[in-house]
Amino acid sequence: MDFELTEEQQMVRDMVRRFAETEIKPRAAELDEKHEHPAEIIKQLWELKIMGIAVPEEYGGGGMDNISYALALIEVSKACASTGAIMSVNNSLYCYPIMAYSTHEQKMKYLYPCAAGEKIGCYGLTEAGAGSDPAALRTTAVRDGEEWVINGEKKFITSGNVASFAVIAAVTEKDKGYKGISSFVIDLENTSGFKVGRVEDKLGILASGTAELIFEDARVPADALLGEEGEGFKQMLITLDGGRIGIASQAVGIGRAVLEEALEYAKTREQFGRSISSFQAIQWKLADMATELDAAELLTLRAAWLEDNNKPYEKAAAMAKTYASDVTMRASIEGVQILGGYGYCKEYPMERHMRDAKICQIYEGTNEIMRLVIARNLLKGK
């Protein structure tokens, strides 16, 4: 068992860490306050080959592995969770399914722009009545000659307000349940009948837009179908497994920021004539944070290693996402507690970390659903 990173993985982590510390972290509070999409930062991440980090170089990506992706996402999210969310969706939920299920021609048309640094991609699954239950999807796609006609609304779509492309799930055969769901990749900029709806006013990750995607008799070409008709549900499950490794990485990054700032504050804040770090109550909080975050990172890297080595990783990804997000939520609450009144004020970033941490327990599969996934695998003996 080898816990050492390869030289390339260390180089990626160190490069992104330097960039995040110097270019992302100083702007994070302002981006959050203004609800501003970090366009310039995303452009620089493309230049570093991070926005399509695991995409082969021939399709504009970085040609790296999923461990490198997890390490990079941890560092980005440590500096700014909103930027981490945008990076995660572009990599895990948009680039991955196209890389895995499309033809070479589709890759050049739909994958290359989002991996190489021209466009942002998003993923449209959730609807008003369909989140944890994909079988309740109401968005439809009907074949009409050499086109598909799409009708429906997607909700809570990360980057939906700035994306140029989207992978969406739609019902192509109503009577087949899960087997009647198909995936489509859509050029949002050049599709009549498409519009961006409401942009949500959220608790956290405020520099990452969350929007409705509305399709009203939207016509897309035949090659918009991803893989075979009726394979959308299977594609969705595998895509979300990888996405959960991304969310686990995002959560670990937020948790690392919490621990770092709590440590620094505890060492400099004095009460009763000494730093609060000398009190056992504070030490125990810090010790628990550090222990749990290390465990969360190991779970995350294990899931990424399993994916890289073509081994089953559904359970490992669910475990990593659940544990990392729960740990980070606890850490952020304790971080606010350690900072006391300052932790509750926007003068310090701790309150932002707490707001940002919460979503990691919700999106890409709520932690309640994740526990069902874990239990299902256990009961099957996997």
pLDDT in tens, 32-53: 999 999 999 999 999 999 999 9
My answer on whether 274 and 286 are in the same domain is yes
My answer on whether 22 and 45 are in the same domain is yes
My answer on whether 100 and 156 are in the same domain is no
My answer on whether 322 and 254 are in the same domain is yes
**What is the Cα 93 distance to its own chain's centre?**
8
Dist. CA 367–CA 350, nearest whole Å: 23
Q: Which two tokens stand for residue 20?
A: 């995040």
Residue range 108-127: mean pLDDT, rounded: 95
Residue 119's identity, in one-letter code, is K
Residue where a domain stops, chosen among 232, 267, 287:
232
* Per-residue model confidence (pLDDT) at position 376: 97
Name which of 351, 334, 339 is nearest 276 in CA terms. 339
Residues catalogued as catalytic: 364
Q: Which helix (H) or strand (E) holds 140?
A: strand 140-144
How many domains, the chain? 3
- pTM, two decimals, is 0.97
The answer, yes or no, to whether residue 283 has pLDDT greater than 90, is yes
The answer, yes or no, to whether residue 135 has pLDDT greater than 80, is no
* Per-residue model confidence (pLDDT) at position 265: 97
My answer on whether 144 and 227 are in the same domain is yes
* Per-residue model confidence (pLDDT) at position 29: 97
Q: Which domain does 343 fall in, by range? A: 240-379
Strands 165-171 and 210-221, sheet pairing: unpaired
Torsion of CA 224, 228, 232, 234, to 10 degrees: -150
Angle made by CA atoms 295, 296, 297, in degrees to the nearest 5: 90
Q: Domain for residue 253, yes or no?
A: yes
Q: Which pLDDT band, with edges at 50, 70 and 90, does 111 fall under?
A: very high
* Per-residue model confidence (pLDDT) at position 177: 87
Name which of 118, 119, 136 is nearest 127 in CA terms. 136
Residue range 60-87: mean pLDDT, rounded: 98
What value does the mean pLDDT of the chain take?
96
Is residue 61 within 8 Å of residue 303, measured between CB atoms? no
Q: Which pLDDT band, with edges at 50, 70 and 90, does 124 fall under?
A: very high
My answer on whether 151 and 247 are in the same domain is no
Q: Which two tokens stand for residue 338?
A: 């350690």
